[in-house]
Structure formats: structure tokens, C-alpha cells
């Protein structure tokens, strides 16, 4: 079921190729703009969303060639509310605006992706614009393989 939701979520764009799906995560390549990414749908969304929440690791190209975390949350974040990503016993503070959250810098991206490779799940928690706390939870089975497949999918670009 998660794989079907993931494919539905990711196939909306024209020119998108599926590189593979591994358990909860898939890897995809867009033709224009050229980019590759790993993506998952949450196993539990903490709020009733008007959109489809997802977590992704997007390949950044150029000199640093690093992965970057980007998450669409199940609800818009209350301005000024902290957004916390929990992976195992690690906690990361994310930057956020509206329903989007991301790592604030390259060092955090690197630490988050390393933590994702060795954990079973991750959750992003914050307070919705309406004042209710919520958390979106993701299984990490298949994440490492999907992240690697996305990196290989755009190697040489």
C-alpha cells in the first residue's frame, strides 16, 4: 500500500522516471529540471492534510553533490514553532515555512541522511497553525537504497 501511494505521489509530473521502489521509499528522476530524489509517504500523518505529505532526499548537483532533506508536512506550521526531526535517539531542528520543512545547512543534511541509513523510523513534530501539536512518521526501510539509487540516477549530470 505504501509503495502504491508513493508511486501515485511521484508520478504526477511529466518527464518523471521511476528508478525503483524499495519497501517504503522510491527513487525518481525528473528530466526538466534535471534532478533525482528519494521519496516516501508517511506511515502516519499527524494532521488531516489538504495535500499529500512526503519526505524526500533531493540530490543537489554542482560542486558539493550532496543530498538535501525536504519534507512536506501534513499541516502548516504555526509561525515561530520549532520543528523537530527525531531519528532514533538523534534530534534535529529543521527550518520551516507554511507546510515545508528542510535542513538548515549542509552539516545537518549530512547528519540527517547518515542517521536515516541506520534507523527504522523518523518523525517530524511541531505545532500546526491552528495550535494543535502533530507529528508525521515515516518508515525508513528502503531509504538508504533509494537515496543511493537517486544519487546514481543523476551521476554525471
pLDDT, tens digit (0-9, with 9 covering 90-100), for 20-46: 999 999 999 988 777 899 999 999 987
- Residue with the bigger pLDDT between 65 and 135: it is 135
Identify the pLDDT of residue 4. Answer: 43
For 44-72, the pLDDT digits (tens) are 987 776 779 999 999 765 555 678 999 99
Pick from 100, 108, 106, 135: which is nearest to 121 by CA? 135
Identify the pLDDT of residue 60. Answer: 63
- CA-angle at 65, arms to 59 and 70, nearest 5°: 35
Which pTM value belongs to this model?
A: 0.86
The single residue listed with the C-alpha cell 509530473 is 13
- Count how many Cα atoms sit within 13 Å of the Cα of residue 32 in the half-sphere of its side chain: 2
Bridge partner list, 38: 27, 57
Identify the pLDDT of residue 35. Answer: 85
- Grid cell for residue 132: 494543535
Burial 7-28 (b: 16+ CB within 10 A, else e): eebbeeeeeeeebebbbbbbbb
Q: Which residues contact 87 (CB under 8 A, 6 or more apart)?
A: 112, 115, 116, 119, 121, 122, 140
Identify the pLDDT of residue 13. Answer: 53
Does the pLDDT value for residue 78 go beyond 80? Answer: yes
Q: Which of 2-6, 31-35, 76-80, 90-94 has the weakest average pLDDT? A: 2-6
- Residue with the bigger pLDDT between 88 and 13: it is 88
Question: Phi and psi at residue 85, in whole multiples of 5°?
Answer: -100, 125
Mean pLDDT rounded to a whole number for the chain: 87
Identify the pLDDT of residue 65. Answer: 60
In CATH terms, the fold of domain 2-153 is Immunoglobulin-like (2.60.40)
Amino acid at each position: 500500500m505504501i509503495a502504491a501511494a508513493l508511486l501515485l505521489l511521484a508520478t504526477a509530473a511529466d518527464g518523471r522516471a521511476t528508478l525503483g521502489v524499495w519497501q517504503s521509499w522510491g527513487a525518481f528522476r525528473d528530466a526538466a529540471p534535471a534532478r533525482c530524489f528519494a521519496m516516501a509517504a508517511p506511515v502516519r500523518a499527524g494532521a488531516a492534510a489538504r495535500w499529500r505529505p512526503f519526505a524526500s532526499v533531493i540530490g543537489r548537483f554542482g560542486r558539493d553533490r550532496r543530498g538535501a532533506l525536504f519534507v512536506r508536512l501534513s499541516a502548516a506550521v504555526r509561525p515561530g514553532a520549532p520543528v523537530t526531526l527525531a531519528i532514533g535517539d538523534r534530534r534535529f531542528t529543521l527550518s520551516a515555512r507554511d507546510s515545508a520543512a528542510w535542513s538548515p545547512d549542509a552539516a545537518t543534511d549530512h547528519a540527517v541522511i547518515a542517521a536515516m541509513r541506520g534507523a527504522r523510523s523518523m518523525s517530524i513534530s511541531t505545532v500546526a497553525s491552528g495550535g494543535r501539536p502533530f507529528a508525521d512518521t515515516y518508515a525508513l526501510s528502503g531509504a538508504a537504497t533509494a537515496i543511493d539509487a537517486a544519487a546514481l540516477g543523476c551521476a554525471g549530470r
